[in-house]
Structures are given as structure tokens and as C-alpha cells.
Amino acid sequence: MFYIREVETNQPDLHPRLDELVNKHLQHVFRKPPAQPTREAFQRLQQFAKGKSRPWILDTGCGIGESSATLAKRNPDAWVIGVDQSFKRLDQAERVVEELPENLTLLRADLIDLWLLAAQAGWRFEQVYLLYPNPWPKSEHFQRRWHGHAIWPFLLATANQLELRSNWQLYLQEFARAVELSTGVLPVVEPWLPDPPITAFERKYHQAGQALWRLQADVSGFQLNSAFLPDNQEDQHQA
């Protein structure tokens, strides 16, 4: 066993502004226009999606793509899209993953823009995985956590089932509260023993003896207020 630092935070409990900010994001229109590189990546994805009626699984922040490849092998009837903003990490996929399954697409894109574009296009992924997202443990960075970010309603609107894993229990507790506030459903949060680990971070934390946590939630009932969608009609395509 080797030593990896536990998450260090200046926040002892759920963020004091969690309810206020989640409610604000559920009610205020998010209008940041998606950047061109993710627009182009999404267009390629739309071309690729044409005529494919299989369920889609989104692996967000997939890093080197190991979890995406595992999910693709475990779900041969689904298409898996692994998304990361880092060229460097995605570039390692072919070296790290022995054989990339044919039902896997790895895409370099900014998730914030991708969630917005997917919601505009009316996409809903059957499963969305958030495996070891950057925790942003400083209290002042709360709005960089996915549930504290203005993109939150779009993340929910493009998923049926969510699965989040982290070594920071508070992140899951906050996320669970945000799901409850947004959908009325209280997700299950439980200790997670990976067997075997499916991501580089999962393996690293597990081998260091850290406790891991998993959240699962059915958010299929969540609907985005149509006033939230930007006016740009040219993006209105169906998958």
C-alpha cells in the first residue's frame, strides 16, 4: 500500500449555499454559447448517431478511456461515448486500453458545452457516468463542482440514470441533495468496493486504502424548462 493524500477541504459540511445556488440554476437561463471546437465535435457525434437506435452511455471526464472501454465491453448492445477535454489523456487511450471496442467513441470536448448542445438536440443518454470528477474541495470553488455549476439542469436533462463515484463522501452527499432538490428523488449513496477498479483514479485510491463512495440516481423524470434552451435554432437536431 502507498500513500495518496485524502481530499483536503476547508468545508466541514454541505456547502452553506448549496440549496440557494441549485435553486438559482434551476430557475435562471444559462446562455453561455458553446465554443466552436465542441460544436464541431458534437456535429461529428450527430453524424455518427444517425440511424443508431441503441442506448447511449456517456462516460464524462473519461481521462485515458479505460472506464469507457470497460463499459463498452460490458454493454455490447449500447454505444459508449467517452468525453474528456484533455488531448493528452485521450491520446493515451490506444496505448493503455489493449483493444478499443467497436461500440466505443472517444471524443475530445468540453462537457459544459456538450451538455448544452445535447439538451438543445433533445438527447437523453440512458446512463451517464461521473467517475472521480475533479472535487474542487475548497469551499470557494463550490460552483466548479458539477452540482454547483450553472450547467446542472442540462446535466440532469440529458440523463436517465446517473452514476457518480468519488473518494470524497461530501461531494456525493452534496450531489444527492442537489438531485433531491431538482427531482424530488433522494439518490442512494453507499460505500464502493471496486472489483476490479475500472479507472486510473479508482485504482490509485483503492490501492492507497482510501474509502470510495458511489451514488446512483434515476433522474429520468427531470424535464428542462424550454425557456432554458438558447434561441439558436440551427442547433435543433434530433439524435
Ligand X SMILES: C[S@@+](CC[C@H](N)C(=O)[O-])C[C@H]1O[C@@H](n2cnc3c(N)ncnc32)[C@H](O)[C@@H]1O
Interacting residues with ligand X (CB under 6 A) = 61-63, 67, 83-86, 89, 110-112, 131-134, 199-202
Q: Which residue is nearest to ligand X (CB)?
A: 61
Three-state DSSP at 125 gives: strand
Judge whether 26 and 152 are in contact, CB under 8 Å.
yes
Q: Are 68 and 59 in contact (CB under 8 A)?
A: yes
Closest contact distance (angstroms) between CB of 112 and ligand X is 5
> Closer to ligand X at the Cβ: 3 or 87?
87
Residue with smaller CB distance to ligand X, 27 or 134: 134
Pick between residue 110 and residue 218 the one whose CB is nearest to ligand X: 110
Q: Which long-range contacts (CB under 8 A, 24 or more apart) does 70-75 make?
A: 70/198, 71/129, 71/198, 72/101, 72/103, 72/104, 73/101, 75/103
Closer residue to ligand X in complex, CB, 67/182: 67
Q: How far is the CB of 134 from ligand X (least distance, A)?
A: 5
Cβ 144 to ligand X shortest distance, Å = 9
Rounded Cα distance between 177 and 87, Å, is 33
Q: Closest separation between CB of residue 202 and ligand X, Å?
A: 6
